[in-house]
Amino acid sequence: MSVTKEAAGAVTVLRIGNGPVNALSVGNGFVTEIGDAFAAAEADQDCAAIVIAGEGRMFCGGADIGDFDGDPASLDTLRNMQLGVENSGKPVIMAIHGVALGGGLELAMAGHYRIAQAGTKLGMPEVTLGLLPGGGGTQRLPRLTGAAAALDMMLSGKPVSAERALEIGLVDKVVEGDVVAAALALAAEALPPVRPSGALPVPADKAEAVEAARAKLRPGALSQAPARIVDCVAALSDDLASGLAVEARLFGELMASEASRGLRHVFFGERKVARIPGLSSDVRPRPIARVGVVGGGLMGTGITIALLNAGLSVTMVELREEALAKAGATIAKTIQRDVDKGRIAQDKADARLAAFTPAGSLDALGDVDLVIEAVFEDIGVKEEVFTALDRITKPEAILASNTSTLDLDAIAAFVSDPSRVVGLHFFSPANIMRLLEVVRGKATAPEVLVTAMDFAKRIGKVGVVAGVCDGFIGNRIFEEYLRQAWFLLEEGALPQQVDAAMEAWGMAMGPCRTMDLAGQDIGWAVRKRRAVEQPDRPYSGVIDRICEMGRFGQKTGKGIYLYPDGRTAEPDPEIDRLIIEYSAEIGLERRTISDEEIVSRCVLAMVNEGAHIVGEGIAYRPVDVDMIYLYGYGFPRERGGPMFHADVIGLPAVLESIRTYAAGRHGWAWEPAPLLVDLAARGETFEILNA
Ligand code: T1G
């Protein structure tokens, strides 16, 4: 952590440095150090102007998110430092490069002038953390850019380019070269007058922009940050201090909110899961340049697109000529769609397509660094493929299976050196879903695991390590969630009630609709297999009755719901009747089931299975379970994940509910996880295991 001072003639250059993103940490004294260095420069008779710049690769990535679990007043230190900058009697020029985000952009706006290096990103991502810009951003940004542009930045959380920042008045100049030199040149030209952003007038479009933004707010949203941001802009007046006071108060409310605590947990969580406990940092990833994908079906195609989008060279092997041609056409069409939608330029699309090589034989994979197998979920087919790959590929090539239901250790045994086998379980659609379960087999070498995790980050996925068990982490939990959903149907709920309750609670999609989308036949296959492997853990038979009718969901036009237009789910009275008749058939008197019970049983089923999984060492930490459920199963980010949510409820209360269910119908499904029992008894939380 440092603030270095350099005199350039009559200009003092302060460079701020604090870790990888120059986070404006109050806790470690960094903000105070900036304030002290600034005050010294201002008092320096030989100093006529002050330039502030960031050390390393960026100006500043924001306030320190870790500071927010403490006292909200800690931000006053940051606010006061920024006011000191803004009220300086000497002109202050901000030299911005890399990124200026959140509190970092607020610091830049406390300056009198802003010069940005071309390529810089400037943004207000606080809303993604369930917060609002609490360091004066809601009061200064609209004054610089107008209320509409400011609200767009603060409500979307998306950064703007340096050029866009120039257009809207957020920066005064964009330069190609050294941004500090440009700032010094500005100061040398003609000493610019001080120009406090906070002294600028309230933007003329305030009322109209606030009204338009309010109209777009979602009243039932789990995070109230968007609404509070609009409130702060509505509070803009000629009295800057009163607006800042409203902002500080509302920031404190949001900081304490469950939604923000959940979102901040996710921010750190998605980075924490990248760390493999107990692995020496000198285990380095192998270089991966050329990848082979085996299988041109839905998954193989999606995986190939994801890899091409990440700039990798991919050879797809599909033995069936027609399927290979179809996959190639889908790949080309998908990449071209990104051009048509303005997401990428044509030359980038052409480069991606040029990196794709279709092949009809596994012999084409002789020089790849990694193979990802995505063939039919049958152990015999896997054996054929891996036996051939063992013969054809380089000894140092990593062999990965995308299997979601088969035993990875059994697959690894088909290879003479099983240490090079790992699981890369993608989620469909593989080019869209960010989750990647990295399955470590008994024999998987540490270097292979590290390479797989590095590869996940490189292709823009959230990689989470899972041990080998039936369903790894995500699907194993998902099956307990579905088990409760199907029991609820036979006990008295109907599909639309179960889905509506879960979606009102925050799930992106209810269980019935989800399985109609994924394919009821896939769930049916799992239940058939488990009926043999785990006969003492039956599911409700009601869902199988629907499958026996050939109603596999959206892809067959009918599932639990009807899909008259092929996409929109409509309740089907015939299925409602089938469910009611099924209850009678098994002699079960249906009862009215509350939405609260639906949510409680579905969510606590996830929590309990997650606790089993962590306790068994299949997941390293509870936060790994959280990230899997957020990025693979549509769990609401504002609730942080199943395990984080259990901590919010309190583990003793969670255990009490589970014990109540364990004493009830199908209580065998509610065997409390030993880890949960232990933590609850000690008054501890899952969080303590995330360190
Ligand atoms: N606070 C604390 N730690 C942070 C941080 C932050 N703002 N930003 C990054 N880190 C850590 C991160 O956890 C990781 O740690 C390391 O830095 C590298 O991060 C008052 C209230 C800036 C685009 O939301 O978007 O200001 O895992 O791997 O890929 O109004 O970090 O190595 O231990 O992500 O190069 C607003 C959050 C905060 C921006 C760089 N700012 N950060 O990406 O590195 S709230 C943000 C990012 C606020 C004010 C409000 C990205 C990045 P570790 P990284 P990167």
Tell me, using a 6 A CB cutoff, whether residue 101 lines ligand 1. yes
* Cα–Cα dist 690/180, whole Å: 41
Q: Find the mean pLDDT for residues 524-551.
A: 95
Looking at the fold, whether 120 and 248 belong to one and the same domain comes out as: yes
Looking at the fold, whether 64 and 25 belong to one and the same domain comes out as: yes
With the C-alpha atoms ordered 283, 286, 287, 291, is the resulting torsion angle positive or negative?
A: negative
Q: Find the mean pLDDT for residues 136-146.
A: 97
Looking at the fold, whether 425 and 495 belong to one and the same domain comes out as: no
Which atom of ligand 1 is found nearest the CA of 124?
Answer: 36
- Domain end point (choices 230, 256, 282): 256
Task: Determine, yes or no, domain membership for 663.
Answer: yes
Number of structural domains found in the chain: 3
Tell me, using a 6 A CB cutoff, whether residue 136 lines ligand 1. no
Nearest residue (by CA) to ligand 1, atom 8, is 61
Q: Ligand 1 test: best mutation among 59, 65, 96, most atoms within 8 Å of CB?
A: 65
Cα-to-centroid distance, 253 and ligand 1 (Å): 22
Q: Which of 344, 361, 364, 362 is nearest to 353 (CA)?
A: 344
| Domain that residue 595 falls in | 474-690
Task: Determine, yes or no, domain membership for 270.
Answer: no
pLDDT, residue 71, reads 76
pLDDT of 420 > 80? The answer is yes
Burial class for 534, CB neighbours closer than 10 Å (0-12, 13-18, 19+): exposed
Q: Which of 20, 8, 17, 84 is nearest to 46 (CA)?
A: 8
Task: Determine, yes or no, domain membership for 276.
Answer: no
Looking at the fold, whether 425 and 480 belong to one and the same domain comes out as: no
pLDDT of 166 > 80? The answer is yes
What pTM value is reported for the model? 0.94
Cα-to-centroid distance, 63 and ligand 1 (Å): 8
Looking at the fold, whether 149 and 294 belong to one and the same domain comes out as: no
Residue with tokens 């785990």: 534
Looking at the fold, whether 81 and 202 belong to one and the same domain comes out as: yes
Q: Which of 187, 231, 225, 184 is nearest to 210 (CA)?
A: 231
Tell me, using a 6 A CB cutoff, whether residue 23 lines ligand 1. yes
Which atom of ligand 1 is found nearest the CA of 61?
Answer: 22
Residue with tokens 């197998």: 373
Cα-to-centroid distance, 596 and ligand 1 (Å): 36
- Domain end point (choices 466, 501, 536): 466
Share of the chain above pLDDT 90, in %: 93
Catalytic site positions: 106, 126
**Residue 379 is encoded by which pair of tokens?**
């152990």
* Cα–Cα dist 291/307, whole Å: 8
Residues in the chain: 691
DSSP string, 82-129: HHHHHT-SS-EEEEE-SEEETHHHHHHHHSSEEEEETT-EEE-GGGGG
* Cα–Cα dist 497/594, whole Å: 9
Tell me, using a 6 A CB cutoff, whether residue 295 lines ligand 1. no
Between strands 290-294 and 313-317, the pairing is parallel
Looking at the fold, whether 94 and 57 belong to one and the same domain comes out as: yes
Tell me, using a 6 A CB cutoff, whether residue 67 lines ligand 1. no
Query: Is-cis flag, bond preceding 429, omega within 30?
Result: yes
Looking at the fold, whether 69 and 109 belong to one and the same domain comes out as: yes
Chain centroid, CA 650 distance in Å: 25
Tell me, using a 6 A CB cutoff, whether residue 20 lines ligand 1. yes
Looking at the fold, whether 249 and 318 belong to one and the same domain comes out as: no
How sure is the predictor about 190, in pLDDT bands with cuts at 50, 70 and 90? low
- Domain end point (choices 256, 282, 300): 256
How sure is the predictor about 281, in pLDDT bands with cuts at 50, 70 and 90? confident
Higher pLDDT, 15 or 567: 15
pLDDT of 495 > 90? The answer is yes
pLDDT, residue 73, reads 76
pLDDT of 66 > 90? The answer is no
Cα-to-centroid distance, 382 and ligand 1 (Å): 42
Cα-to-centroid distance, 171 and ligand 1 (Å): 22
Tell me, using a 6 A CB cutoff, whether residue 65 lines ligand 1. yes
- Quickly count: other Cβ atoms within 10 Å of residue 262's Cβ: 27
pLDDT of 99 > 80? The answer is yes
pLDDT of 679 > 70? The answer is yes
Q: Which of 484, 467, 512, 515 is nearest to 628 (CA)?
A: 467
Q: Mind listing the pLDDT tens digit for each residue in 434-444?
A: 999 999 999 99
Looking at the fold, whether 216 and 320 belong to one and the same domain comes out as: no
Angle at 642 between CA 65 and CA 654, to 5 degrees: 115
Buried-state track 47-73, b at ≥16 Cβ within 10 A, e below 16? bebbbbbbbeebbbbbbbbebbeeebe
pLDDT of 72 > 80? The answer is no
How sure is the predictor about 392, in pLDDT bands with cuts at 50, 70 and 90? very high
Task: Determine, yes or no, domain membership for 643.
Answer: yes
Cα-to-centroid distance, 511 and ligand 1 (Å): 34
Which atom of ligand 1 is found nearest the CA of 268?
Answer: 13
Task: Determine, yes or no, domain membership for 297.
Answer: yes
* Cα–Cα dist 303/390, whole Å: 21
